[in-house]
């Protein structure tokens, strides 16, 4: 079954490449989860082209199975997923991998209630609204790992 999306298409030539990441011998592992495979696969391609090691999953169960084999340092997940939502997935991933960073994204206004419920339970997550422009996504991911890169640079001196 093919998924159609109402999101704008960005030509791959317009996806910025961050050469500073390419010079690093280690590539940060990022897992992208979205039940719309075209979105997950596109974000993975953007991240891979930008120096990250990115993998896709298309539901929460598949993401959990994949994470046990390939632990992510960053989970980027849609909030609205079948069966287990992205917030529940984020909480489960954090329990297994406490250092994993979480970035949620959603195109639905109904996610604010889910975020508020998670916040009341002590879970704080960053949220981006769909559609996500590649530049905005890469800027956010770069910001998430900025402190880690700075610590690695200081430790290598």
pLDDT tens-digit readout, 128-149: 888 888 999 999 999 998 866 5
Burial class (CB in 10 A: 0-12, 13-18, 19+), 34: buried
In this structure, are residues 47 and 54 in contact, taking their beta carbons and an 8 Å threshold? yes
Measured distance CA(7)–CA(130) in Å, rounded: 8
Bigger pLDDT: 23 vs 85: 85
Please report how many Cα atoms fall inside a 13 Å half-sphere around the Cα of residue 84, on the Cβ side.
16
Give me the pLDDT at residue 137, please: 93
Q: Which domains does the chain have, with CATH numbers?
A: 24-156 (3.40.50.2300)
Among residues 69, 6, 29, 50, which one has the least CA distance to residue 139? 50
């Amino acid at each position: 079954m093919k998924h159609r999306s109402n999101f704008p298409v960005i030509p791959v030539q317009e996806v910025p490449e961050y050469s500073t990441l390419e010079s690093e011998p280690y590539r940060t592992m990022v897992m992208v989860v979205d039940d719309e495979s075209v979105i997950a696969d596109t974000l993975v391609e953007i991240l891979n082209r930008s120096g990250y090691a990115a993998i896709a999953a298309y539901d929460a169960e598949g993401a959990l199975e994949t994470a046990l084999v390939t632990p992510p340092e960053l989970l980027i997940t849609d909030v609205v997923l079948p069966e287990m939502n992205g917030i529940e997935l984020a909480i489960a991933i954090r329990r297994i991998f406490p250092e994993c960073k979480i970035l949620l994204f959603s195109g639905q206004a109904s996610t604010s209630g889910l975020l508020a419920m998670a916040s009341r339970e002590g879970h704080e997550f960053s949220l981006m609204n769909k559609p996500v422009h590649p530049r905005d996504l890469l800027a956010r991911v770069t910001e998430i790992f900025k402190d880690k890169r700075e610590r690695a640079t200081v430790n290598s001196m």
